[in-house]
Structure 1
Amino acid sequence: MGISDWPVTLRPRERLISQGAQSLSDAELLAIFLRTGLPGCSAVELAQRLLLHFGSLGKLCSAAIQDFCAFPGLGPAKFAQLQAVLELARRSTEEELANGVALRSSAAVRNYLHLRLANLPYESFTVLFLDARHHLISCEELFRGTLTRAYVYPREVVRSALRHNAAAVILAHNHPSGEPAPSSQDHELTQLLCSALGLMEVKVLDHMIVAGRRFYSFAEHGEL
């Protein structure tokens, strides 16, 4: 049975309009994106198969084009559409941070970092550069590493902060392992960067670790 044959109250698109996107499951949201299923398989069923195949919505969104297009019912056009949706979400959240105060928009900061870092297969060290009013100037990936480590050079972080004329920064990196707890090296690096940036009168507001849907904030744990 196709979705068009379902009762109106059960159809994902109609439920989204009447109840809001937050009321839908991952599979239902994905079904709206897919629009159509396969012969004998509704869009919702196809979405459920996709999530099962890739393991999670995040892994589907970060899949390489070869893996994405290898699944029946998908292709380059759907891959391009999905990447466009993700980039729109990133830019929308970045605009929110640029127009608002980052410290008062902790949810927006987390959402933005989640979109940028959560599903990367490698460790990325990223810095949000902020002006004196804590509006976002720029967000840059400064260092890229392997599955378990990215080598960070403090002088390059300082140089980038001065180039942007930043008054403050939020440091961030991801743990592809899915464990958000900081390592001893994370603690050492945080203190080193606080000292180096402090000499240039650039304040470190936070260092956030992104691990899937979990976060660790040095500021929230009183470690800055």
Structure 2
Amino acid sequence: MLPHPFKAHDSQGHYQINQPVHSQDIIKMANYLTRQRLKKGTDLSSPEKSYDYLQTLLQNQEREVFGVILLDQQHRIIQYQELFQGTINQASVYPREIVKQALMNNAAAVILVHNHPSGDPTPSMADKQLTQIIKEALALVDIRTLDHLVVGHEGYRSLAKMGWL
């Protein structure tokens, strides 16, 4: 359902409003549209494409949020799930829960994602170590870890592109 006060227009992909809106309404609409773009069947073929979808959802969060994009064999989205929330600089992440969600959704691959509320997307050594632990846990059940994206308002970093995966 569209967030108030937005209404669908006759042309697909166009929306209208007939009153002034607050910036929070615009952010709600942007999040709604992003979730629509992250729906089942969307092809994710690059870190840049993944970041385009995740930027709106994660870059301005006040707390650290850790999620996973579950993918089928052709790297199309099955589902995006935010699994853990933390404080301003950390979130407790449990590999067991990630494996459980991947198996429940019959995922062949995953992209791990989290934000840095500070805005600086530079991964920490703890991010690198956690990624390796999750990758190994998923590999035990034949699920590939394609990437781990760290998102901030200053951009993103792909651990795969950095050679950390």
**TM over 0.5: same fold?**
yes
Q: Calculate the TM-score normalised by the size of structure 1.
A: 0.61
Alignment of 1:107-122 (within 5 A): 107-122=48-63
Aligned to 1:193: 134
**Distance of 2:35 and 2:24 partners within structure 1:** 16
**Distance of 2:28 and 2:122 partners within structure 1:** 32
Aligned to 2:91: 150
Native 8 Å contact 1:129 1:137 kept in 2 = yes
Question: Which of 1 and 2 has greater Rg?
Answer: 1
Spell out structure 1 runs of 4+ moving beyond 3 A: 33-36, 77-81
Native 8 Å contact 2:78 2:105 kept in 1 = yes
> Between Structure 1 and Structure 2, how many residues are aligned?
150
Q: Calculate the TM-score normalised by the size of structure 2.
A: 0.81
* 1:78 CA displacement: 3.8
**Counting strand residues as a fraction of each chain, which structure ranks higher?**
2
Name which of 135, 156, 159 aligns with 1:215.
Answer: 156
Question: What is the one-letter code of the residue matched to 1:195?
Answer: E
Aligned to 1:171: 112
Native 8 Å contact 2:69 2:80 kept in 1 = yes
SS of residue in 1 equivalent to 2:41: helix
Aligned to 2:33: 89
**Distance of 1:189 and 1:106 partners within structure 2:** 19
**Distance of 2:111 and 2:27 partners within structure 1:** 26
Structure 1: gaps (5+ residues): 1-32, 37-73
Aligned to 2:80: 139
Native 8 Å contact 1:114 1:213 kept in 2 = no
* 1:92 CA displacement: 4.0
SS of residue in 1 equivalent to 2:66: strand
Question: What is the one-letter code of the residue matched to 1:127?
Answer: V
Report the identity percentage. 39
**Distance of 1:87 and 1:217 partners within structure 2:** 22
**Distance of 2:125 and 2:47 partners within structure 1:** 25
SS of residue in 2 equivalent to 1:171: strand
Question: What is the one-letter code of the residue matched to 1:157?
Answer: I
Aligned to 1:15: none
* 1:109 CA displacement: 1.1
* 1:34 CA displacement: 8.9
1:99 aligns to 2:42 (yes or no): yes
